[in-house]
Amino acid sequence: MARNTYNRRLLDAIISGKDTSAITSKKLVQSMESESQIQQKCIQWFQYTYPELWRDGMLYHNANEGIRPGGQGRRIKREGLRKGVADLCLSVPRKGYGALYIEMKKPGGRISPAQEEWGANAIKHGNLWVVCYSFEEFEKVVTDYLSTD
């Protein structure tokens, strides 16, 4: 099975006669961003847009991913590591919620069963849990959550 690279998608668009203008090409390139790249862009925007909340540490990343060598994985589980915890927490109560938890995914990414279960539990306990597949979604979710209306 061929990998779904930018060049492959561009060739497929050309063959099928789809628009390959700069806007369409930009969308194709954006879809190639990794989850980490999207999340970093979101953090940069938040730092600039909400500097006081950023300085106060109200938005933070839950470093819950990756494989830990040796006994480190067992140790951090004993320290409280939980499967499925959202990537980001905006620890500011708004609109009747205790906090906003954001699970970041790249376009086409999937939520694991553990993430789905954790999100349902976060909601059950009075928090807002959302999944964002792009910087634009993150920006809208955070702006709406922090708005006073």
Q: What CA–CA distance (Å, rounded) separates 78 from 76?
A: 5
> What is the chain's mean pLDDT, rounded?
83
Indicate the pLDDT class of residue 36, thresholds 50, 70 and 90. confident
The stretch 82-101 carries a mean pLDDT of: 91
pLDDT number for residue 35? 84
pLDDT number for residue 1? 45
- Three-state DSSP class for 131? strand
Q: What is 34-146's CATH number, 3.40.50.300, 1.20.1090.10, 3.40.1030.10, 3.40.1350.10? A: 3.40.1350.10
∠141-144-145 over CA atoms, to 5°?
A: 80
pTM beyond 0.85 = no
Q: Where are the domains of the chain?
A: 1-32, 34-146
The one-character DSSP state at 56 is T
The one-character DSSP state at 94 is B
Comparing 22 with 65, the larger pLDDT belongs to: 65
The one-character DSSP state at 69 is P
Distances (CA, A) of 99 to 82, 104, 122: 18, 16, 9
